[in-house]
Amino acid sequence: MLSIRMSQDMLAGVIFMAIAAVALWFGADLDAGTSAEMGPGYMPRALAWIIGAMGVFTCLRALWLKSPKVGTIALRPIILVLAACAAFAYLVDWAGFIVASAAAILIALFAMPGASLLYVIGMIVVLPAALALVFIVGLGLPFDLWWF
């Protein structure tokens, strides 16, 4: 008899298959077309099938190989990183890219236990400047640097 335990690999495979199912469901109205004349649903459907196949492969792999059991879920990092994304989205329009990214970094750093004050200050100063160089100067995204 086959004993299936919920390991990390099994859970990852189930999540991959769920993502693929949702993508196929949402993309069902899009015309896939053919390989020669691709429609708007061709790539989403192809990627969904690839992700689903990865999920099946990962689940089958979990049956043969030992992988660690699923542990507890740490909610603090999940909530704080989501809050950091929300803060950036809220602040970027009226506070500017630098302030919004610094606030998002500060909120996300609370998810990391044991960060020193020097590390936090360094991240808040260095990362927004680097992000501004990459996204605004390098890629030319239309964000205001500051609120003024």
The span from the CA of 6 to the CA of 125, in Å, is 42
Is pLDDT of 20 > 50? Answer: yes
Domain ranges of the chain: 8-64, 75-138
DSSP line for 23-53: HHHHTTTS--B-SSSB-TTHHHHHHHHHHHH
As a whole number, mean pLDDT of residues 95-119 equals 89
pTM of the predicted model, to two decimals? 0.58
Split at pLDDT 50, 70, 90, the class of 1 is very low
